[in-house]
Structure 1
Amino acid sequence: MRVYLPCTLLVLATAVEAGELGPAPLTGYAVTPALTEWYASGDTEELEYVALTEAARASLRLLAADRAGGVVTTPRRVVVAAEVPEGSVSAGVDLEERARVRLAQPIPLAKVAAVHIDDLDAVPDIAAAAAALPAADAGDDDAKFTVDGAEAHELMWFATQEIPDLLDS
């Protein structure tokens, strides 16, 4: 099963050092039965794109939390796509997050299929979205517009052997 794990560049660097994404439990996003039922007209590729988009939103939240905690990092959303056995994934029942899953074990880097990341051109918009997230959550329409603007940027795809180059950029 393909699972999309929200990440940041700092978390990715830590995972490379450790040889795995963790610690468990991990929150990811995948094509779940609830997502398939809700998005009945979509094919597998469309459903995977929905899961990837949800993971990108969660990555933005990780960036906002880093920012609030004083962690300085390049504001780029990062999503790690991994292949995991279906038995290691449990789907939630949250109707707002139909694609959300929990993984009970860390994910070895050998199971990573690809990394999706914002282009450097997106950095100003992603930084603005991360800064606006608390106000957006409080109901500020202008802040919501700024946060939604982050989704105008498509994540780029990188093979696993390109991860060291991503961490150096």
Structure 2
Amino acid sequence: MRVYVPLTLDSLAEADEAGLVPSDLDRVVADDESEEGEYAALMTAADLSAELLAAAGGGPGRRVVLAADVDDVDGAVPRRAWAALHVDTTAGADPDDDLAWFATQEIPDVLAGR
């Protein structure tokens, strides 16, 4: 099942270092497997990422959503399950903007550009 995990660049760095997303982080699951359902889940996770940024108080940042394919939607998400990364191209992007897509192999490059 595909899950969308709302993150910040800092929590992505932590997950990348640990090699997994801990089970206590939120995740969003699409209502169905349609393209519209998947997109809605992605954008819901993007909204949750924006809330994480606001709660951190660091000002506008870049929304980050990790997409992963898992068997257990409530468990930790190991690196091998990570499917793609979706990130704002600039800090403080319009909340209606789509997120850029990155392959998981590009995570170090995304983090280097923080």
Q: When the two structures are superposed, what TM-score results if normalisation uses the length of structure 2? A: 0.91
Q: In 2, are the aligned partners of 1:9 and 1:74 still within 8 Å (CA)?
A: no
* Superposed counterparts of 1:97-136, under 5 Å: 103=74, 105-120=75-90, 123-125=91-93
1:76 is aligned to 2:62: yes
How many equivalent residue pairs? Answer: 113
Alignment partner, residue 8 of structure 1: 8
**Structure 1 residues without counterparts, runs of 5 or longer:** 37-42, 90-102, 126-149
Query: How much does 1:26 deviate?
Result: 3.0
Once the two structures are superposed, the pairs formed by residues 2-151 of structure 1 within 5 Å of their partners are 2-22=2-22, 24-32=23-31, 36=32, 44-67=34-57, 72=58, 75-85=61-71, 88-89=72-73, 103=74, 105-120=75-90, 123-125=91-93, 150-151=94-95
Find the counterpart in structure 2 of residue 160 from structure 1: 104
User: Aligned partners of 2:19, 2:59: CA distance in 1, in Å?
Assistant: 21
Once residues 10 and 168 of structure 1 are traced to their aligned partners in structure 2, the CA distance between those partners, rounded to angstroms, is 11
Say whether the 8 Å CA contact 1:10–1:73 is kept in structure 2.
no
Query: SS where residue 82 of structure 1 aligns?
Result: strand
Q: What is the alpha-carbon distance in structure 1 between the residues aligned to residue 82 and residue 106 of structure 2?
A: 12
- Structure 2: which 5+ runs fail to align? none
Superposed structure 1 runs of 4+ greater than 4 Å apart? none
Question: Sequence identity of aligned pairs in percent?
Answer: 45
TM-score with structure 1 length normalisation?
0.63
Greater per-residue helix proportion: 1
After superposition, the C-alpha distances for 1:58-89 in whole angstroms (9 at most, x for unaligned) are: 0000000111xxxx48700000000001xx23
SS for the counterpart of 1:114 is strand
Larger Rg: 1
Secondary structure in 1 matching 2:61 = coil
